[in-house]
Amino acid sequence: MIRIPYQEGKVEFSGKRCHVGVDVHKLTYYTSILSEDGRYVQFSSPSNPHALISQIREMGVEIIALTHETGPTGYELAWHCQEVGIPVVVAATTKIPRQITRDGKTDRLDSLKLAEYLSKGMLRAVAIPSRSEHALREL
């Protein structure tokens, strides 16, 4: 797949079917939206699942699926996606393909790789616990 960055005014992104990769942190989300034709757009936003999904929907894209890695930030984004009917894959961090060298590791690249791996079916998902199951685990 050839990845082509989205350029404002040159490519119409609305109406495209897309895979979404999110690099989740405590304070921010770094998001890559990858269309089926290889074009992508990236942006950073505060870590708010409701705002992120609203922002993506305002772009007019059809979300095929959204993914993020497991980690200390929990499942809030995954739960919100499930509640609004967006297919979500929480990828096992240890099972994500990695390059041999770690030179180019940034939030921007991580989110784009997640979207790309999701589009190719290369991610191994973990089971997403319900909110009540998660609460029991926290006890």
Whether residue 8 has pLDDT greater than 90: no
For 3-12, what is the mean pLDDT?
A: 53
The predicted pLDDT at position 103 comes to 64
- Whether the CB-CB separation of 20 and 13 falls below 8 Å is answered with no
Structure tokens at 92: 């096992």
pLDDT given for residue 105 in this prediction:
77
Q: What is the pLDDT of residue 9?
A: 45
Can you name the residues that pair with 44 across neighbouring β-strands?
30
Q: Note the pLDDT of residue 84.
A: 96
- pLDDT tens for 58-108 read 888 999 999 999 988 889 999 999 999 999 999 999 888 887 666 667 899
Say how many CA atoms lie within 13 Å of 27 toward its Cβ: 0
Q: What is the pLDDT of residue 15?
A: 84
Could you give the CA distance from residue 75 to residue 112 in angstroms, rounded to a whole number? 20
Q: For the chain, give percent helix, strand, coil, nearest 5.
A: 30, 30, 40
d(CA 24, CA 74): 9
